[in-house]
Amino acid sequence: MSRTGKSSKAGERRGTRKKLQLPEVMDLTAAAPLAQSLLTRRGSDLSIDASRVRRVGAQCLQVLLAASATWKADGVNLALEKPTEEFLAGTRLLGISFDQDMTRPESA
């Protein structure tokens, strides 16, 4: 991995869809591990499963927004799957609306 966080093998991994299960509680303590989990999957199409989320905080949403921008810049797909009502309510509270294709976040 380079200093910028980009993998030199991004092209090799492209086309392989990976999955990431979000935790039940996405608060300040979950933000750094979430960012690290996303960084290790950078360069690959990724599906983020939000079916277990019961509480979401601004820090984790900020990490997801940054990931969305990064995946878009890298030209790979980032998808949000099965968001819970709690996840969606947290995003709405902060004025964020995620399309299922997270490479296109929209303002609420």
pLDDT in tens, 18-44: 999 999 999 999 999 999 999 999 999
> What is the pTM for the complete model shown?
0.77
* Tally of domains within the chain: 1
Residue 28 within a domain: yes
Residue 26 within a domain: yes
Q: CB-based contacts of 33: which residues, under 8 Å, 6+ apart?
A: none
Sign of CA dihedral 75, 10, 47, 64: negative
Residue 59 within a domain: yes
| Residue 100 pLDDT class (50, 70, 90 cuts) | low
Residue 7 within a domain: no
Residue 10 within a domain: no
The whole domain housing 47 covers: 18-107
Residue 3 within a domain: no
Query: Angle, nearest 10°, between helix axes 58-74 and 28-40?
Result: 20
The CB density around residue 30, as the number of other CB atoms within 10 Å, is: 20
Q: Residue 36: which CATH number?
A: 3.30.750.24
Residue 12 within a domain: no
Residue 4 within a domain: no
